[in-house]
């Protein structure tokens, strides 16, 4: 048993589960405290909130008497998978960069670049002339390419000018926000058909461009789920194979571990840094493409007011998954589950969805201390007792 706990993979999984459990308990305690001190909520309302925190995905609403009911809710499960698409891919973006020794805090800007390229292609090419599936494919590729190009900028600055990638990413995030705002402000893609919603861009379904459902909408009836979740999983598997089974992936990781040693070994360190950030940007761009190509969401084009949360949520997903591409699939789905639960809490209890933000914050905070948790699990943090040296009479030679 001790040997099993000392395995790196085991301790990583257990550390993640402990972080999640503590986060859920912390959120439940907060709900309980609010319920106790708020007479309008009371213990019964707090109990409803706590149940939603742990099993909100199975909530089916309230019956005629107002009692909360639970069971299989296909809409909740489908929406969880739909919301997981950008989280998985932005998580992969951060994880890939981290594995190569870089911190990609610029996923938000790369995400915006992907949005702009995707929506312009998906809405400007008429599907009456070009088949919708071709437009969809071109829009996805445009989003990936735009994200890769925007991600490569901090990579170039890091590789050739030795500018810290974190600073470069922060600057490119806000540059992207203003450029995207300017482009959409000049375009004719603004939604003016729904009253006051003039600051929104048309849905891609306006041009008949949508991601195929592949029958998932029948399994998860009433949800927004589509085949994008399957594509996101394939991306994750592809990143895993790239980083663990290819020479190119080994070179990227070697450069991240020690740039100078990698150069001495014949690896082109500058190109590796640019490729790493470019690939990370491509994944963030793909996240934006698959989310907006679903045909459901509208994009608020005044992005200078705030950066998209998906880019920063990817950091939490990557940290929670220990930057393992396969683990990122599950942590992305878990984070999207919390988003669904937040909606349930808002509609069914006096609490608001921000309680889930507290849970996520605690989980992410603990993820930053994952090494300490892993050491505690494996027992490596304990100091081994020093055995007293035995006197060797034979070696004591008297003069």
pLDDT in tens, 335-359: 999 889 888 888 888 887 777 778 7
Give residue-wise pLDDT tens across range 173-221. 999 999 998 998 888 888 755 555 567 888 999 999 999 999 998 999 9
Residue 94 domain-assigned?
yes
The verdict on residue 386 lying in a domain is no
**177 and 267, same domain (yes or no):** yes
Tokens representing residue 189 in the block: 């893609």
Do residue 116 and residue 235 come from a single domain?
A: yes
Top mean-pLDDT range of 173-187, 253-267, 293-307: 173-187
Q: Is residue 202 part of a domain?
A: yes
Domain-embedded: residue 127: yes
Asked if residue 295 and residue 170 are part of one domain, the reply reads: yes
Using CA atoms, how far apart are residues 90 and 336, in angstroms rounded to an integer?
A: 13
pLDDT tens track for 19-75: 888 888 888 888 899 888 888 888 888 898 889 888 889 998 888 888 888 899 999
Residues 104 and 65 in one domain: no
Span 247-269, mean pLDDT? 88
- What CA–CA distances, in Å, run from 355 to 30, 43, 172, 344? 8, 17, 31, 11
| 359, 24 contact by CB (below 8 A) | yes
* Same domain for 359 and 328: no
Domain count, the chain: 2
Determine the pLDDT at residue 61: 87
DSSP state of 215: T
Q: Are residues 290 and 363 in the same domain?
A: no
Q: Quick one: tokens of 83? A: 């919301």
Structure tokens at 353: 């969805």
CATH number for position 322 = 1.10.3470
181 and 220 fall within a common domain:
yes
Structure tokens at 309: 């949360």
Mean pLDDT over each residue of the chain, to the nearest integer: 86
Q: Which of 16-30, 214-228, 276-290 bottoms out in mean pLDDT, i.e. has the lowest?
A: 16-30
376 in any annotated domain: yes
Does some domain include residue 251? Answer: yes
One domain, residues 165 and 206: yes
Q: With the CA atoms of 288, 294, 296 and 300 taken in that order, what torsion angle do they form, in degrees rounded to the nearest 10? A: 20
Closest to 204 measured CA to CA, from 280, 281, 143: 143
Q: Indicate if 180 and 300 belong to the same structural domain.
A: yes
Same domain for 14 and 134, yes or no, is no
Q: What is the average pLDDT across 260-269?
A: 87
Q: Are residues 158 and 13 in the same domain?
A: no
Range of the domain at 206: 82-338
Are residues 259 and 317 both part of a single domain?
Answer: yes
Question: What's the confidence (pLDDT) of residue 197?
Answer: 52
């Amino acid at each position: 048993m001790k040997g099993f706990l000392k395995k790196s993979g085991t301790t990583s999984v257990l550390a993640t589960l402990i972080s999640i459990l503590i986060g859920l308990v912390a959120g439940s305690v907060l709900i309980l405290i609010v319920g106790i001190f708020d007479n309008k909520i009371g213990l019964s309302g707090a109990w409803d909130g706590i149940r939603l925190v742990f099993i909100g995905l199975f909530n089916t609403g309230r019956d005629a008497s107002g009692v909360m009911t639970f069971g299989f809710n296909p809409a909740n499960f489908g929406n969880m998978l739909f919301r997981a698409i950008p989280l998985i891919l932005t998580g992969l973006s951060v994880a890939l960069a981290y594995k190569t020794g870089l911190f990609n805090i610029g996923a938000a800007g790369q995400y915006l670049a992907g949005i702009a390229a995707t929506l312009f292609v998906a809405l400007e090419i008429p599907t009456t002339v070009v088949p919708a599936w071709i437009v969809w494919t071109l829009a996805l590729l445009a989003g990936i390419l735009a994200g890769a190009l925007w991600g490569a900028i901090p990579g170039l600055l890091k590789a050739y000018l030795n500018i810290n990638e974190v600073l470069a990413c922060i600057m490119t995030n806000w540059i992207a926000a203003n450029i995207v705002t300017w482009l959409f402000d000049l375009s004719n893609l603004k939604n003016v058909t729904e009253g006051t919603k003039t600051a929104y861009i048309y849905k891609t379904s306006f041009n008949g461009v949508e991601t195929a459902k592949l029958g998932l909408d029948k399994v998860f009836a009433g949800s927004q789920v589509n085949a994008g979740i399957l594509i996101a999983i394939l991306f994750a598997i592809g990143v895993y194979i790239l980083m663990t089974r290819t020479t190119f992936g080994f070179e990227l990781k070697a450069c991240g571990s020690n740039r100078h040693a990698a150069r001495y070994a014949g690896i082109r360190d500058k190109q590796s840094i640019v490729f790493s950030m470019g690939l990370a940007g491509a994944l963030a761009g793909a996240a934006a493409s698959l989310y907006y190509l679903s045909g459901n969401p509208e994009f608020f084009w005044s992005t200078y007011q705030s950066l998209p949360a998906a880019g920063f949520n990817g950091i939490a997903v990557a940290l929670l998954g220990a930057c393992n591409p396969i683990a990122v699939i599950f942590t992305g789905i878990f984070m999207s589950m919390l988003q669904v639960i937040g909606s349930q809490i808002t509609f069914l209890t006096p609490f608001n969805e921000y309680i889930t933000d507290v849970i996520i914050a605690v989980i992410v905070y603990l993820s930053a201390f994952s090494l300490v948790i892993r050491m505690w699990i494996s027992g490596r943090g304990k100091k081994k007792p020093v055995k007293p040296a035995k006197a060797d009479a034979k070696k004591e030679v008297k003069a």
